[in-house]
Each structure stands twice: as structure tokens, then as C-alpha cells.
Amino acid sequence: MYMTRILYFIDSLSAWSGKAFAWCIVILTFSTVYEVFVRYVLNSPTTWAFDMSVQMYGALFMMAGAYTLSQGAHVRGDVLYRLLSNKTQAKIDLVLYILFLGPGAMALMYYGYHFAADSWFYKEVSWSSPARIQIYFFKSLIPISGTLIFLQGIAEVTRCLICIKTGEWPARLHDVQETETMLMNEQEDLRKLGEEK
């Protein structure tokens, strides 16, 4: 029970950060519509629209990583994977998390911290922008996203270890799901109900 609370806390932290930065889509949409309008209707393009879109998209991409991992929504080649037993799936995931996710997240934290610190020290601005906007705020998201992904990776490794031991995947906080996933879950529930009868 205590372990479930910790896993749910990490899941909820990842969900909160992903949903908070999902608002970047709204900002990105309105700024793009505004830029198109003033550029093509008023013939008065802005100097900041390109930089705004790069920073909003980058922030969304980086900060949604942990949320996507918490929902099991990253792209994977599951043609054969889904046919394997839960224990075998957990063993494969555990090896991949340890070999790839952990070092990748640690690299984001370590090198991202140094990139962000240098950027804050020099009050870095975008060199390719006529508006010369500050980018040190944006670079601060690199180590933050690495930390969130690392925390979520710890939760996923824990889930793998529990599944290897018990043969069942532990529960996770669910959020919005793809229709295909919802239908597959419904079919699985119906199959289990049929087996119980």
C-alpha cells in the first residue's frame, strides 16, 4: 500500500507537469494565428513569432516526456511484445529502462544543468532572432525535464520489479486514453469476467 502511494505520487507529479505545459499548445496556436493574420492581412509581420513557437514547442516536448511515460504512451514496437507474458514484458522493460532511460535522464540532468547555468550567467539571448529574446528561462527546463523523467523512470522500474515478482502489473493512475487502448482494456475485462464465470 505504501509503495502504491509513492508510485501514484510520482505519476501525479508527472501528470501535473504534463498538463501544465499542455497549455503551451494554446499559446502556440493563438500566437501562430495572430502571426498569420498580421503577416498576410495587415502586411506587418512580427519579429517574435518564430521564437515563440520554438520555445513553446520545445517546452511542451521536454515537459511532456515524464507524463507520456507515466501513461505508457511512448511509441513502441509491440507487435511481439504484447504477446509475451507480463513477467517477460517486465524483464524487457527493466533492461531497457536501466540501459537507456536512466542514462538519458541523467545526461539531461547533468549536462542540462550546466547549459542552464551558463545561459543564466551570460543572460543568453537567441542568436538567430531579430528580437534577441532571452532563452535562459527555456534552457532551465532541460534539467527539470530530466529530473521528472528520472523520477518517473524510478516508478517504472519499481513497477517492473513488482510485476516480475507477482506476474501482474501494478495499477497506475490513468488519464485520457486512446480509443484503441480503451477498447482493448474493455475486451480484456470482458475476457477476465468470462473466465471467472
Q: Provide the pLDDT for residue 65.
A: 92
Residue 5 pLDDT more than 70?
yes
Q: What was the pLDDT predicted at 42?
A: 93
Averaged pLDDT for residues 59-75: 88
pLDDT at 179 over 90: no
Q: Which of 117-121, 126-130, 185-189 has the highest mean pLDDT?
A: 117-121
The C-alpha cell that represents 91 in the structure block: 524483464
Contact 71, 175 (CB under 8 A): yes
Give the orientation angle of helix 141-166 with respect to helix 49-63, to 10 degrees.
Answer: 20
Buried residues in 115-139 as b, exposed as e (16+ CB within 10 A): bbeebeeeebebeeeeeebebbebb
The cell for 54 is: 520554438
Q: Range with the lowest mean pLDDT among 74-88, 94-108, 139-153? A: 74-88
CA angle 40, 42, 45 (to 5 degrees): 65
Rounded to two decimals, the pTM is: 0.82
